[in-house]
Amino acid sequence: MTSSKQVAKRPGIWHRLQKSSVIPNIVGLGIVGAAAFFALQMEYAQQHGEEGEPVVAASANDEGAAHADVQLSQEKIQRAGICVRPAERGALLPYHQVPGRTDYDANLRLEMTAPVAGIVTVLHTQVGQACRSGEPLLELSSPEVGQARSEILHRQSECDVAQRRYDNALTICDNLEQLLKALATSPPLREIEQKFADILLGDFRQRVLGSYAEREFARSVAADTGELEQTGVISSRMVRERATARSVADATFQGAVEQCRIDAQERRDIARSELEESKRQLEISREQLTAIAGPWSKAEVADSDSRLNELTLRAPFDGVVQHRHVAVGSRFEQRGNLLELADTSRIWVRAELHEGHWDTAELSPGSQIKFVLPSDGDRVWSAEVQFTEGEVDEQTRTLSLVAATDNRRHELRPGMFVWVRIPHRHAEATLMVPPNAVVEYEGDKFVFVESAPGSYRMQKVTIGVETPEGVEVLSGLDEGTPVVCEGAFQIKSELLLEGEAE
């Protein structure tokens, strides 16, 4: 009963798919897709060959990538700027790199301090302001400066008096000589008095002319005595007395002339000495003012009493105000800091050299060193060695090397950290290639060798010393081999891109 009522078994899924058209459709789609894929592959291969793109003989990921050949069209070569030249031997100057820093040129930096105590009255500059040599920076008021200027004025007055005294003494001395020369011919006294009435003679007029008058009177009396003696009017004794009086008058006049000449010359010499002394005292007072005012002021003598205390400090060279420590009305003591002026068109580079580098480094003044900034390692700066400090630092056991570099474009600032490349003393002859010729791939160094025009092979090399001028090649390359010196990076990029595409 039960078996007769059994229900017929339902057909399975696979049986239904076989009865339907699904499987034939899937198979058809697979065949069409495979045909389309192979067609696209053939079309890409044809287009790739027609466009002249690089054809790589081996993938860069394969072991043979170290010797892969890359072929470039002439258009690609020109666009990449590829340059080829043979590897050659040359003098490679190795260097070692030490830390350093930029600093002010000590010859172009000035910490301006107060020469005397006082007050700031006027400020002519601000921080960061450029100033020319001789321009005023600030003005001070100082009683000490006023006292020094007052001393100068006093010494100047003394010098003026001494000058007039000397001029008079010199004039009297010259006029006296003219008078004595005129009296040598024994002219009449009245004639001499008229001739020298307006000529400066001082007390020598009375001394000379008085003695001259007495001599002339004695001579006149003696001349009359001869006639009177012959007539018997006077005695012979009187004649002898008058002759004696004449002789005395002659001697007295001669003595007066000599003494007057001596006195006149002595007065002239004393006046000259006093004038020279007054000039020295004036110069000393001026030097004292200069010393008080310091080297940054012309220390001019004030044109009025109200400006005796004022002092203007001026820039000794072209520069920029780096710091300012005072304001208008600020009081300051002697040697107090006022401002800092520096010319940064020339910068020093300081490097600390350890003992192991003293004998091997080329450090003579005038030699060139290179340095780079950590923030811009691609740019190499040059500096000229100025000197090496003679004393070794007790703590670091280093010598300080100082070099100077041009900074007229003001790209460097004092206090910047730099890496200084200290060249070795002796250059080495070695096989070398330009720095741009060497590329790196997976930790190894390579160069591209031109195997044929437009064809370049990636050649693994072992390098030694690297300098901005060249790279030492220890192995993997022969002298004279044509090497890509410019454009190696572009060839490497083409090689890697092609390897990824494959």
Q: Could you report the per-residue pLDDT of 255-297, keeping only the tens digit for each?
A: 999 999 999 999 999 999 999 999 999 999 999 888 888 777 7
pLDDT band at residue 71, thresholds of 50, 70 and 90? Answer: confident
Average pLDDT score over residue span 8-36:
48
State the pLDDT at residue 41. 47
pLDDT of amino acid 419:
92
Where are the extended beta strands (E) located within 9-117? 69-71, 83-86, 88-92, 95-104, 109-113
pLDDT of residue 96: 76
CA end-to-end span of the chain: 73
Class at the top of the CATH hierarchy for domain 63-93+429-501: mainly beta
Q: pLDDT tens, 391-431?
A: 887 788 888 899 999 999 999 999 999 999 887 766 667 89
The pLDDT of residue 164: 96
What average pLDDT does this structure show over 357-367?
72
* pLDDT, position 65: 43
- Reported as a pLDDT band with limits 50, 70 and 90, residue 44 is very low
Across 357-454, the runs of DSSP E, i.e. the strands, are 368-373, 376-388, 398-406, 417-423, 428-433, 439-441, 444-452
Question: How confident is the model at residue 13, as a pLDDT?
Answer: 43
pLDDT exceeds 80 at position 214: yes
Least confident of 99-108, 390-399, 429-438: 390-399
pLDDT interval class at 155 (50, 70, 90): very high
Q: What is d(CA 438, CA 498) in angstroms, rounded to the nearest whole number? A: 20
Q: Grade residue 46 by pLDDT with cuts at 50, 70 and 90.
A: very low
The domain 109-143+293-342 is placed in CATH, from the list 1.10.1740.10, 3.30.70.3450, 2.40.50.100, 3.30.70.20, at: 2.40.50.100
Residues 6 or more apart whose CB falls under 8 angstroms from that of 288 comprise 148, 151
| Domain boundaries of the chain, sorted by first residue | 63-93+429-501, 95-107+345-426, 109-143+293-342, 155-290
pLDDT tier at 51, thresholds 50, 70, 90: very low
Average pLDDT over residues 40-57: 41
CA distance 192 to 415: 87
Two tokens, residue 159: 């010098």
For residue 274, give the nearest of 365, 357, 159 by alpha carbon: 159
Banded model confidence at residue 363, pLDDT cuts 50, 70, 90: confident
* Backbone φ/ψ region at 448: left (φ over 0), alpha (ψ -120 to 50), beta: beta
DSSP class per residue in 40-53: HHHHHHHHHHHTT-
Helix (H, G, I), strand (E, B) or coil at 184: coil
Per-residue pLDDT, 203:
93
The radius of gyration of the chain from alpha carbons, rounded to an integer in Å, stands at 54
pLDDT of residue 357: 64
Can you read off the two tokens belonging to residue 87? 């590897």
Percentage of the chain beyond pLDDT 70 is 79
Predicted local confidence at residue 200, as pLDDT: 94
pLDDT score, position 35: 47
The superfamily in CATH containing domain 95-107+345-426 is: Efflux pump adaptor protein, beta barrel domain (2.40.30.170)
Asked if residue 47 has pLDDT above 50, the reply is no
CA distance 97 to 116: 47
pLDDT digits (tens, 9 = 90+) for 295-337: 777 766 655 555 788 888 999 999 999 999 999 999 988 888 9
Instruction: Using pLDDT thresholds of 50, 70 and 90, give the confidence band for residue 104.
Output: very high
- pTM given for the model: 0.53
Does 443 have pLDDT greater than 90? no
Residue 308 CA to residue 148 CA, distance in Å, equals: 9
